[in-house]
């Protein structure tokens, strides 16, 4: 990727789905109803991304830190996710979307849910329309630690390790770097999300809460992205006061 | 016409025999099931099956071994036949005992063996009759002569099967009317085996698809088989008359008979059986061609589970590839080969039998292996049978499990190594390895550069047997259905 990617459509878009709780609070509803309302947004965004030609979409559904939430909320989320996965599995498959789940290592995840994740992965494994990665029980640092472990186990000499080599030990090494991260609800944090892959990502923080986020918001983000000037840390065309050797 | 006492055995066996024309006939699957049921109805055979057979837990393995054996017995090569007959005789000689009513049974009893051959012959004839293409007299005579020669090749005097066909039918009718019983083995085959038939190893990863298909096919096979049994026996054994069963049975035989119009080579019983018993981990070249189909079936299975309102909850098997199983799992999956919930000599003998069959062992290697397993059984019994009932229950095993790599088990590993190491060069090469595990080295032996040393072999065997580790080599061998 270089200047050629300027003003092109992002290849890999990631969404940090933030604001479900606040959405519910503003309506004096229990937090859980915010999560329930998020389902519509998820499906809407998947559909918008697919039609806009985004090849990779990642959704941050549940972080390793989310286990600290109240047990009832966690239980509700597990149940909801299972229902959503089962409800939309045939549709996702019919749309040619390849689904996979990043994380999902904690034994607290109900076996039935893990089974459904595995089944959806198997079912859609051969699809090539768009790859939807759902980060569930995901932690960016954890992934890097795992990659380091795998690297050490493979017995490579320290000098032989470069970025490319390291990345090949991350989960789903075929995933390209994230081009654009959308974090809804105006919060401006990374929250341990796909740390390695977001290194050069553009970030956008639309103030709208995730349950209110819809396809037009998503397309607006894509448009803004295409107007941005991505430099990947290279030398920009005009830099003031840059010391020359 | 064809008198087996004068005709040489060469003319009765081989690719031109009537038997070979039936072997690849799909109706033969139904006939074999029927023959097995009639065998199990014989009190002595029924008792032997209940005591020693692993067919309820490992039916596919048993099917494959039976087909290979029949092929050797009816093949053109006389030396192969004699060797196979000797092997079968040794195998049968190890099967004797007493049934629940203390009546003795003995798999070497010539009467018993004659009955097995009689059921095979009669079921072949009946399969033709039921599918509307009865055999003409000459063909039937020829087939009977072949089966009599088969019995003779086992070394039994042919006299136990009557010399002529008319005499055979009166023998058969008398057996059905007087000797057969509604044995427990018969009920297990009819009502338990088909309803709980485990998936063949090849389809092991698709439990939902398998269960769905079996729920339909299982009772149907049972009903078809019952309907095809002789009426007097059905009445005596108290087997149910189900309305429409006769029609279903006739249709099944007819439909299977139609498959003879398929092009040659589409249906090869032995290849089909070989394919089904192939472990998904195997590196057999045929596997590559069906991997695509398998992937599609896997996806179908996943979809079925996802859209099913109340999904079948499988036990959290190994919880994501945990390399070690619990004592209870190991007991049920590996040790209890007969599936009766207890560990006793027939379980270990079943393992020894399977290993001998895989390696195609001759004497004295076969006896050495059996002796090693017998010693291991004594070791287990001494250590584990705390209530002294002569067998080891799952609980007894689970309690004592840590102390289990005794000298007798190590001896089993060494004897197995010697038996596998056919050329005696103190290492197992790829060919020898394939004979035992039906797969090449590639992933299963870490760091083996084309050979597998005695110490590594013994270590892996103990890790599986005493350490209860999952093993891509031993699991298909001893836990595969």
For B176-228, write each residue's pLDDT tens digit. 888 888 888 888 888 777 777 777 776 666 666 777 777 777 778 888 888 88
pLDDT tier at A242, thresholds 50, 70, 90: very low
CATH class of B327-478: mainly alpha
Q: Which residues contact A116 (CB under 8 A, 6 or more apart)?
A: A82, A85, A86, A89, B305, B306, B311
Cα of B306 to nearest chain A Cα, Å: 5
Region A225-233 average pLDDT: 79
- The answer to whether residues A130 and A58 touch, using CB atoms and an 8 Å cutoff, is no
Q: Which residue(s) pair with A16 in the sheet?
A: A60, A183
Angstrom distances, CA of residue A91 to CA of A44, A47, A98: 13, 11, 11
Average pLDDT, chain A: 88
Residue B165 or B253, more confident: B165
Contacts of A85 in chain B (CB under 8 A): 306
Mean pLDDT, residues A181-202 taken together = 94
Strand-by-strand arrangement of the A202-204 sheet: A97-103, A130-138, A56-63, A12-16, A180-183, A202-204
Task: For residue range B322-332, list pLDDT tens digits in order.
Answer: 456 777 888 88
Most confidently modeled of A229-233, B308-312, B374-378? B374-378
Question: Is the CB of A106 inside 8 Å of chain B's CB atoms?
Answer: no
**pLDDT category, B274, cuts 50, 70, 90?**
low
pLDDT by residue (tens digit) across B400-459?
A: 765 567 788 888 888 888 888 888 888 888 778 887 877 666 545 555 556 788 888 888
Tens digits of residue pLDDT in A4-19: 444 588 999 999 999 9
Q: Which of B302, B303, B311 sits opposite A112 (nearest CB)?
A: B311
The yes-or-no verdict on residue A60 having pLDDT over 50 is yes
| Mean pLDDT for chain B overall | 77
- How much is the pLDDT for A38? 93
The per-residue pLDDT for B262 is: 62
Burial B85-104 (b: 16+ CB within 10 A, else e): bebbebbbebbbeebeeeee
Average pLDDT over residues B1-26: 65
pLDDT above 80 for A119: yes
What number is the ipTM of this complex? Answer: 0.74
- Once rounded to an integer, what is the mean pLDDT over residues B378-403? 79
B92 confidence band (pLDDT: 50, 70, 90): confident
Q: In this complex, which of B298, B314, B319 lies closest to A122 when CB atoms are compared?
A: B298
Q: Does A67 show up as a binding residue in the annotation?
A: yes
Residue B8 has pLDDT above 60, yes or no: no
| Cβ-Cβ contacts under 8 Å, A86 against chain B | 306-307
pLDDT in tens, B40-86: 889 888 888 887 777 777 777 777 788 888 888 888 888 888 888 88
Which pLDDT tens digit goes with each residue over B111-135? Answer: 888 898 899 899 889 888 888 788 8
Section A155-182 average pLDDT: 92
Interface test with B, best of A98, A119, A121 (most B CBs within 10 A): A119
Q: Chain A interface, mutation test: which of B302, B311, B312, most A Cβ atoms within 10 Å?
A: B302
Ranges of each domain in chain B: 9-257, 327-478
Please give the residue that has the higher pLDDT: either B296 or B94: B94
Cross-chain residue pair A89–B303, CB shorter than 8 Å? yes
Alpha helices by DSSP H, listed for B332-452, are 345-359, 365-384, 394-400, 407-420, 430-437
How large is the C-alpha radius of gyration of chain A? Answer: 19
In the predicted structure, residue A237 carries a pLDDT above the cut 50: no
Is A175's pLDDT higher than 50? Answer: yes
Q: State whether A119 and B305 contact (CB < 8 Å).
A: yes
**Helix (H) and strand (E) counts in chain A:** 7, 6
Asked if the model's pLDDT at residue A224 lies above 70, the reply is: yes
Active site residue A18: yes
Please tell me which residue, B12 or A4, carries the higher pLDDT value. B12
CA nearest neighbour of A18 among A137, A160, A190, A146: A190
CB-based contact B306 A115, cutoff 8 Å: no
The per-residue pLDDT for A47 is 93
Task: Give B154-193 as a 3 state SS string.
Answer: CCCCHHHCCCCHHHHHHHHHHHHHHHCCCCHHHHHHHHHH
Chain A residues touching B302 at Cβ < 8 A: 118-120, 122-123
Specify the DSSP class assigned to residue A15: E
What confidence score (pLDDT) does residue B441 get? 60
* pLDDT, mean of residues B290-299: 71
The proportion of chain A whose per-residue pLDDT surpasses 90, expressed as a percent, equals 61
B446 touches chain A (CB under 8 A): no
| % of chain B with per-residue pLDDT over 70 | 80
With CA atoms as reference, the chain B residue closest to A89 would be B306
Segment A193-204 mean pLDDT? 94
> Residue A239: is its pLDDT beyond 50?
no
Grouping H, G, I as helix, E, B as strand and the rest as coil, residue B480 is: coil
What letter does residue B439 receive in the DSSP assignment?
S
Any chain B CB within 8 A of the CB of A75?
Answer: no
- Residue A86 annotated as binding site: no
Highest mean pLDDT among B14-28, B163-177, B404-418: B163-177
Higher pLDDT residue, B149 or A216?
A216
> Is residue A203 a known part of a binding site?
no
> Does pLDDT of B247 surpass 50?
yes
Q: What CATH class has A8-227?
A: alpha beta
Q: What size, in residues, is chain B?
A: 481
Is the pLDDT at B284 greater than 70? The verdict is: no
Interface test with A, best of B299, B307, B312, B314 (most A CBs within 10 A): B299
Contact A123 B311 (CB under 8 A): no
- Whether residue B321 has pLDDT greater than 60: no
Q: What angle do CA B43, B99, B186 make, to 5 degrees?
A: 40
């Amino acid at each position: 990727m270089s200047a050629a990617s300027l003003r092109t459509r992002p290849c890999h878009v990631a969404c940090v789905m933030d604001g479900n709780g606040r959405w519910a609070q503003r309506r004096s509803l229990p937090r859980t109803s915010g999560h329930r309302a998020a389902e519509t947004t998820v499906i809407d965004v998947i559909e918008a991304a697919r039609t806009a030609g985004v090849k990779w979409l990642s959704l941050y559904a549940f972080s390793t830190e989310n286990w600290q939430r109240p047990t009832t909320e966690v239980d509700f989320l597990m149940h909801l996710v299972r229902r959503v996965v089962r409800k939309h599995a045939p549709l996702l498959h019919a749309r040619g979307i390849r689904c996979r789940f990043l994380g999902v290592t904690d034994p607290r995840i109900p076996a039935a849910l893990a089974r459904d994740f595995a089944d959806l992965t198997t079912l859609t494994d051969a699809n090539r329309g768009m790859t939807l990665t759902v980060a569930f029980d995901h932690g960016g640092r954890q992934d890097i630690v795992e990659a380091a472990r795998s690297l050490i186990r493979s017995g490579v000499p320290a000098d032989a390790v470069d970025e490319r080599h390291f990345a090949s030990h991350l989960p789903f090494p075929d995933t390209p770097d994230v081009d654009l991260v959308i974090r809804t609800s105006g919060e401006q944090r990374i929250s341990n999300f796909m740390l390695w892959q977001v290194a050069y990502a553009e970030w956008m923080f639309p103030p709208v809460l995730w349950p209110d986020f819809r396809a037009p918001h998503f397309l607006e983000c894509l448009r803004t992205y295409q107007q941005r000037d991505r430099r990947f840390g290279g030398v920009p065309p005009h830099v003031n006061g840059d010391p020359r050797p | 016409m064809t008198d087996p006492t004068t005709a040489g055995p060469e003319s009765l066996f081989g690719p031109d025999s009537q038997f070979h024309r039936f072997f690849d006939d799909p109706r033969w699957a139904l006939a074999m099931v029927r023959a097995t049921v009639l065998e199990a109805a014989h009190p002595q055979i029924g008792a032997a099956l209940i005591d020693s057979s692993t067919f309820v837990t490992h039916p596919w393995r048993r099917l494959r071994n039976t087909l290979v054996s029949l092929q050797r017995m009816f093949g053109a090569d006389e030396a192969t036949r004699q060797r196979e007959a000797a092997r079968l005789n040794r195998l049968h000689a190890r099967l004797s005992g007493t049934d629940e009513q203390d009546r003795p049974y003995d798999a070497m009893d010539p009467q018993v063996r004659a009955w097995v051959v009689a059921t095979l012959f009669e079921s072949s004839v009946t399969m033709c009759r039921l599918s509307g293409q009865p055999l003409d007299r000459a063909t039937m005579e020829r087939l009977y002569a072949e089966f009599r020669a088969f019995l003779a090749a086992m070394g039994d005097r042919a006299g136990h099967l009557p010399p002529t066909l008319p005499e055979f039918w009166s023998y058969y009718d008398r057996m059905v009317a007087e000797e057969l019983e509604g044995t427990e083995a018969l009920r297990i085959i009819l009502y338990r085996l088909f309803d709980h038939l485990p998936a063949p190893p090849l389809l092991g990863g698709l439990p939902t698809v398998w269960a769905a298909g079996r729920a339909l096919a299982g009772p149907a096979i049972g009903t078809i088989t019952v309907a095809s049994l002789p009426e007097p026996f059905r009445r005596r054994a108290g087997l149910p008359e189900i309305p429409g069963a006769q029609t279903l049975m006739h249709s099944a035989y007819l439909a299977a008979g139609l498959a003879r119009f398929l092009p040659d080579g589409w249906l090869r019983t032995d290849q089909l059986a070989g394919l089904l018993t192939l472990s998904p981990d195997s590196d057999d070249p045929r596997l590559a061609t069906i991997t695509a189909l398998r992937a599609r079936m896997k996806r179908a299975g996943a979809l079925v589970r996802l859209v099913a309102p109340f999904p079948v909850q499988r036990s959290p098997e190994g919880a994501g590839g945990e390399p070690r199983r619990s004592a209870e799992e190991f007991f049920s999956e590996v040790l209890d080969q007969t599936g009766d919930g207890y560990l006793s000599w027939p379980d270990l003998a079943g393992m020894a039998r399977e290993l001998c069959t895989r390696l195609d062992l001759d004497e004295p290697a076969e006896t050495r292996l059996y002796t090693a397993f017998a010693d291991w059984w004594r070791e287990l019994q001494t250590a584990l049978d705390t209530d002294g009932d002569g067998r080891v229950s799952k609980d007894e095993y689970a309690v004592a499990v840590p102390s289990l790599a005794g000298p007798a088990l190590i001896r089993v590993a060494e004897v197995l190594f010697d038996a596998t190491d056919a050329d005696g060069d103190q290492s197992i090469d790829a060919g020898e390895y394939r004979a035992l595990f039906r797969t090449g080295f590639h992933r299963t032996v870490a760091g083996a550069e084309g050979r597998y040393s005695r110490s590594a072999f013994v270590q892996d065997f103990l890790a599986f047997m005493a350490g209860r580790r999952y093993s891509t080599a031993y699991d298909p061998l001893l836990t595969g259905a």
